[in-house]
Amino acid sequence: YITIDLDAFDPSIAPSTGTPEPGGLEWYPTLKLLRKVFKKCNVVAFDIVELMDSPNAKPTAFLAAKLYYKMLAYYFKYKGKSDKKKK
């Protein structure tokens, strides 16, 4: 299971969260890490939490939607591949 808390992202790319984290996660390193996790582990579910509703929510909502799309793509790309390596 993977839960992504949007608070972990740097406010420069995710300004609309409950607790912004200066120096937090950046986009491309996060995708690289997630790709490795999906490739090596049997991910059965994932979610994204802590999007704060505000007038500034559009960039963060877009990041959350794009992140969900990427995770879904990684899931289907690597689905079942981690099981085959273990056998």
16 C-beta neighbours (distance < 10 Å), count: 21
Distance CA 42, CA 74 (A): 11
Residue type, 70: K
Are 55 and 16 spatial neighbours (Cβ–Cβ below 8 Å)?
A: no
Question: How confident is the model over 17-67, as pLDDT tens digits?
Answer: 888 889 999 999 999 999 999 999 999 999 999 888 777 678 999 999 999
pLDDT band at 83 (very low <50, low <70, confident <90, very high): low
DSSP 18: S
Residue 82: per-residue pLDDT = 58
Residue showing tokens 């994932």: 46
**51 C-beta neighbours (distance < 10 Å), count:** 19
